[in-house]
Chains A and B, each alone.
Chain A
């Protein structure tokens, strides 16, 4: 069953001159799949990720996630949709520095507002536990190492039990040890919790260990 369906996604940039970054990209991702998106630098991986994540609405084609058609929807609707259905992990860990680890993880759930604060806190601690970060819950997020911050970011991405986790080079800024750790976490999430993951990566070993590798070149999917 497909969680994400993209049909004929095309996108142009007009600066400095008109140029087509994405060329009728078709992609379907099944539930519980761990998908690695690879390709040469500049081929359009990040651009595709931003379209799939609903943050970029300037494209042609159709996008559907978890049975909801997302093309041509209003920004506010899309923001709410991301909150509930999509979790993000970025290359630069991007935690909010003035907040504690626990507060960072709780934030998307507080925004969703469907549970009480106590329930959210319990759930955040549970997610931190999965990532082995529970003991750091009360620390300020800026006081953690890069690898630790990335694990907190993954916990944050998981807090609302999203349909998909998306990552743009989530291990790009980590050493081998931490990269392996993040990879292990991702495989555990897919295999134990049936979590769907789409991750852009340059790391070949990372790609090899995923369920499915999709390769892009010059704005098109050429393999997978």
Chain B
């Protein structure tokens, strides 16, 4: 123990008598860790936001009739033993209807992992307001059921969801869509179905999910009203939405429903694959940049320590002659690189924190895509732990080789002169 204390003292003297070198080596680590913290805080902040938006904007599992699913052609069915190939087979003119949707929803509700299920009718429509005509979607829902699943109440910017119940011909419109149409609550808007049916509806509220892909195109209306304008029967349903207690199990549960009901059953991760790909890319980016920076810092430490050891050959020989063993010499230089690593990382954490703070305070316009005013920043302490461990491990690795070289220096060669 006294031996370690002495090594630390000698290492300390080496460090403070060459303050410039020490500082440069330290700043290398500081820069690496600081950038890592700033980047990882920002990127994971964005990732968390993306993930939560992906989840709130789509059901955990959506069950619908996928008419684009590949099917066997008639020629293939009739000629079972031969080789038949039908090129460019067009989809059958099938209805999007999910048969027995209400029953399916009832059965799904009994599943132990399911929190709730609702049925709805989705359709493409044109929104007309004066000369403006926009493509969008309308969802016919039981608004109270929908609220149970998606907490719509908290997403309302104007009006209340109950307005839809008292107003058969009302709609709740996404804020982005309303802005494009330059309409407000109370205004009337004309919608046209793909079949050419036209109806005037009254906007009774505006909602905001916070994601352009929804807010810029979607409206909610009463199920019965949408069935009417599409000229469909009372049982016409296109989607069953499912919410689970634990959204992470969606991917595992979805195939079960597909098997049981014979309709396409899609989990939220698959539905938002493009959006979630960004999460993976951001993670890869963050860690590769951080590792690159740390490797560069590691080389800096390796270099500076190698130079120090080269300049201190005589001292090392003297120490060995006086009775310092190879391991004591190694200790002296390992302590130096660890001190550089520790204080460099600590300063890096501080700088990373300040940078993250600045980023989180800087106004940021999410544009059409995201409705945010500031960049989301994650201040989780986990990344600060990772940062300091990263920093110390890198410097330990970088310091090890020169330190071992110092330990193996043969004092005779140097003392001979």
Which residues in A have some Cβ–Cβ distance to B below 8 Å?
Answer: 46, 50, 53, 55-56, 75-76, 79-84, 88, 90-92, 94-99, 107-108, 110-113, 156, 168
Contact = CB atoms under 8 A, between A and B. Distances in A.
A53 B321 contact: yes
Contacts of A112: 323
Interface in B396-417: 411-412, 415-417
B315 A96 contact: yes
Interface string B1-43: 0110010010001100100000000000000000000000000
Contact of B323 (A95, A96, A97, A111): A111
Contact of B321 (A82, A99, A110): A82
A83 B3 contact: no
B326 A99 contact: no
A98 B2 CA distance: 21
A82 B14 contact: no
A110 B322 contact: no
B321 A80 contact: no
Interface residues of B, number: 26
Given A55-B320, A98-B14, A111-B3, 20 more contacts: A46-B416, A53-B321, A55-B412, A56-B412, A79-B320, A79-B323, A82-B321, A82-B322, A83-B324, A84-B323, A88-B322, A90-B415, A98-B13, A108-B322, A110-B2, A110-B6, A110-B9, A111-B324, A111-B328, A113-B6
A79 B412 contact: no
A107 B9 CA distance: 11
10 contacts: A46-B416, A55-B412, A84-B323, A88-B321, A94-B318, A94-B415, A96-B315, A98-B14, A111-B6, A111-B324
Contacts of B157: none
A174 to B, nearest CB: 16
Given A90-B415, A110-B6, A111-B6, A99 B13 contact: yes
A82 B412 contact: no
A199 to B, nearest CB: 15
Most buried by A among B14, B323, B326, B415: B323
A76 B148 CA distance: 74
Nearest to A168: B415
B282 interface: no
B3 A113 contact: yes
B13 A83 contact: no
Nearest to A77: B325
A78 to B, nearest CB: 8
A50 B2 CA distance: 28
Candidate in A50, A90, A111 with the most chain B CB atoms within 10 angstroms: A111
B323 A83 contact: yes
Contacts of B416: 46
B327 interface: yes
A79 B325 contact: yes
B314 interface: yes
Nearest to A166: B321
B330 to A, nearest CB: 12
Contact of A80 (B14, B323, B415): B323
A108 B325 CA distance: 12
Contact of A55 (B6, B14, B321, B328): B321
Contacts of A79: 320, 323-326, 328
Contacts of A80: 323, 325
Given A75-B325, A80-B323, A94 B3 contact: no
Nearest to A81: B323
A50 B412 contact: yes
